[in-house]
């Protein structure tokens, strides 16, 4: 899973898997949902993300993850503040 925010376009991309996208649906004028051939949600794109979502209060709870593994954090170079998985352990 990957969550990426593009500051230049105010776009939030949430990728849930790397499955091939076969269908894109407009949920509303600012939100796209993309699905694989089985109808499983692959990703969501949210335009005007600051208006659509409360990005200032984004919280990730690794304690709620399964025992299959820990998250991998990938931070864009222009991100001013972030926490790595080590800070949550």
13-67 pLDDT per residue, tens: 999 999 999 999 999 999 999 999 999 999 999 999 988 887 777 766 665 455 5
pLDDT at 74: 53
For tokens 């299959």, what's the residue?
68
Cβ distance 35 to 23 under 8 Å? Answer: yes
Cβ distance 52 to 30 under 8 Å? Answer: yes
Cβ distance 45 to 7 under 8 Å? Answer: no
Transcribe 33-69 into DSSP letters. Answer: EEE-TTS-EEEEEEESHHHHS-GGG----GGGS-TT-
- pTM of the model as a whole: 0.65
Q: At 83, is the pLDDT very low, low, confident or very high (cuts 50, 70, 90)? A: very low
| Per-domain boundaries in the chain | 2-83
């Amino acid at each position: 899973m990957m969550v990426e925010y593009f500051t230049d376009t105010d776009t939030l991309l949430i990728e849930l898997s790397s499955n091939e996208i076969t269908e894109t649906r407009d949920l509303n004028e600012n939100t796209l949902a993309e699905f694989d051939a089985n109808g499983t949600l692959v990703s969501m794109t949210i335009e005007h993300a600051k208006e659509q979502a409360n990005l200032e209060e984004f919280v990730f709870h690794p304690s709620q993850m399964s025992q299959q593994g820990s998250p991998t954090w990938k931070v864009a170079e222009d991100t001013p503040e972030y926490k790595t998985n080590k800070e949550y352990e």
